[in-house]
Amino acid sequence: MERDEQYTFGIFLIGTDELIGIIELTEVVRGPLQACWLGYYVDQSHNGHGYTTEAVRLVVDYAFEVLKLHRIEAGVMPHNIGSIRVLEKAGFHKEGLSKKNVKINGRWEDHLHFAIVNPNDSE
């Protein structure tokens, strides 16, 4: 299957242009899947202000409208309530739990699996 390059964007504060995080679409797969993974990071001092939710919504729109993707997936650790809320506010739905899915700091961690499907892609 054909793969795009990774799409990485900075998250900047309006007015100061301070870089407070990054958001990226990775593992873009074309062909019959037309899907990718979403990842993001925002500096802890800027959590809880809606910046990440706004960035996720903008990147989801970009993925669906510009890249013409059908599906975006994201994984989040079950205890990361803030990130779960970000995904839910952006329209993602929980699809399940992947046990011992990602090795972080030498330890296999569970991840909740979230996804959103392009509402304008009926075929």
pLDDT digits (tens, 9 = 90+) for 26-77: 999 988 999 999 999 999 999 999 999 999 999 999 999 999 999 999 999 9
pLDDT value of position 5: 78
3-class SS of residue 59: helix
**Cα→Cα distances 85→29, 31, 80, Å:** 26, 31, 9
The whole-angstrom separation of Cα 26 and Cα 5 is 8
Would you tell me which CATH number, out of the four given (3.30.70.60, 3.40.640.10, 3.30.110.40, 3.40.630.30), belongs to the domain 7-117?
Answer: 3.40.630.30
The whole-angstrom separation of Cα 102 and Cα 37 is 14
